[in-house]
Chains A and B, each alone.
Chain A
């Protein structure tokens, strides 16, 4: 018997378990998946939780429910990967593997910035990238009466890179609805040189910030949080005041990657951009947020990766050359507030452009243009996530590689 082990039962790991269970023969292969937590969170929902658009119940389910029969599920903390011995140390157990899939994702590391985890953490400084943070922020917003709201990105890369901008748009809507928009000053602070970093996006979407009266601070590389004076300060000594800071802390791979000596500076695993094989060990594959590939860290990306990776695992076990197929394809809805959303579809090479999706000239979704229909698409994504994505069911008409059909490319 041979062992295929999947580390992490989040979006990517769960999808891989569902793909592989029917493809690897039961007589030859045992598939095992390990995760430390009982609960599987729908992370895209963390964007809506603070604004009372989603409830707690809508963003969490028991993880085991999504692991197919025929796959061993172990709920334990992974301590270390021993790639030279093909073994995994769990908190109180050891697993052997022939093929390993790392899907341990990425998480926030607020302690990377001086003062961030200080006295004001979850009092006037919040994140919404964790369940606890999103919930604490919701409770704060319910009673907040206004002031300076600063939405801030610490450093790139972060998962779902458009989420902070969406947060700013949704905040504008939220305070308008509450009738206190005039009491709230919203500032968006980014380490990048613009709110949108791709040229076409900036051109098409630059108006959004102005329209919603959101101030923009660019090129801001935070050095520390000044908890006494409620300021964030950058390396050039620029200071920004806040009454309420919603920050996206540094995103890093799990410490298990660091302990195992498998990661880069941010604990992301160096991975082949097109095959998803780890660069250091041929029987280790990496998927989702845990990789260092220069694609967006998003569930939709993990979904496209999973299709390529499934084929490549099968090729690998048969001793055949791998497909260099994954193209960085990402497909993301961007909430713009007031019940509208945008859709972008892009890959490593092709930046987001305008057009229709998935059918040329028809849509029904519009690329890079606000529409109510796109907003329904974003909300439908939650249903698609629980019922299709995690189960590895392909999304109709959307292929793993990006299609140029319907895109206005010049």
Chain B
């Protein structure tokens, strides 16, 4: 599915997650954050950076992983990305939504 965001056409799935990370830019991240009523700050970007690195390393993301990240504690993570922080932060970071096995 195509979507125009920050004047750029990008590919997303039905839930709005980027399907091609190479299309991601900070501007796109900022726009997606706005759609979730989130104003990006340095702390937000630090988390996004950490998430992108982990995904790049092939590490599965989890709330527990966040706890051990050293970047942020879980309370702050919830405060920064209200309403399902892993779902929202991964969408902003342009990476796939974390899978959970049935």
Q: Is A74 an interface residue (CB 8 A)?
A: no
Q: Is the CB of A344 within 8 A of B102?
A: yes
Q: State the interface size on chain A (CB cutoff 8 A).
A: 26
Question: Closest A-chain residue to B75, C-beta based?
Answer: A235
* Cβ-neighbour of A294 out of B65, B75, B83, B99 (below 8 A): B99
Give the contact stretch, choosing among A84-92, A191-199, A384-392.
Answer: A191-199
Q: Is A219 an interface residue (CB 8 A)?
A: yes
Question: Closest B-chain residue to A236, C-beta based?
Answer: B78
Q: Mark A100-128, 1 if CB is under 8 A from B, else 0.
A: 00000000000000000000000000000
- CA–CA, A223 to B100, complex, Å? 20
Q: Is the CB of B78 within 8 A of A193?
A: no
Task: Give every chain A residue within 8 A of B17 (Cβ-Cβ).
Answer: none
Give the contact stretch, choosing among B2-10, B22-30, B33-41, B56-64.
Answer: B56-64
- CA–CA, A198 to B77, complex, Å? 25
Interface residues of A in 211-228 (CB under 8 A from B): 219, 221, 223
Q: Is the CB of B102 within 8 A of A196?
A: yes
**Known contacts A155-B63, A294-B60: does B102 contact A198 (CB below 8 Å)?**
yes
Q: Is the CB of A156 within 8 A of B78?
A: no
**Known contacts A161-B102, A196-B102, A201-B102: does B78 contact A219 (CB below 8 Å)?**
no
Q: Is the CB of B101 within 8 A of A157?
A: yes
Interface of chain B, helix or strand or loop or mixed?
Answer: loop
Q: Is the CB of B100 within 8 A of A235?
A: no
Which of B74, B87, B99, B101 has the most chain A CB within a 10 Å cutoff?
B101
Q: Is A333 an interface residue (CB 8 A)?
A: no
- CA–CA, A31 to B25, complex, Å? 56
- CA–CA, A201 to B60, complex, Å? 23
* Cβ-neighbour of A193 out of B60, B63, B64, B84 (below 8 A): B84
Q: Is the CB of B77 within 8 A of A235?
A: yes
Q: Is B16 an interface residue (CB 8 A)?
A: no
Interface residues of A in 331-362 (CB under 8 A from B): 344, 346, 351-352
* Cβ-neighbour of A296 out of B64, B84, B87, B102 (below 8 A): B102
Task: Give, as a whole number of angstroms, the nearest-CB distance from A183 to chain B.
Answer: 32
**Known contacts A265-B68, A266-B64: does B101 contact A294 (CB below 8 Å)?**
yes
A–B pairs, 7, beta carbons within 8 Å: A161-B101, A191-B63, A193-B87, A235-B74, A266-B64, A294-B101, A295-B101
Return the 6 tightest CB-CB contacts between A and B, nearest first: A219-B84, A235-B78, A236-B78, A235-B74, A197-B100, A221-B63
A→B interface (CB under 8 Å)? 155-157, 161-162, 191-193, 196-198, 201, 219, 221, 223, 235-236, 265-266, 294-296, 344, 346, 351-352
B→A interface (CB under 8 Å)? 60, 62-65, 68, 74-75, 77-78, 82-84, 87, 99-102
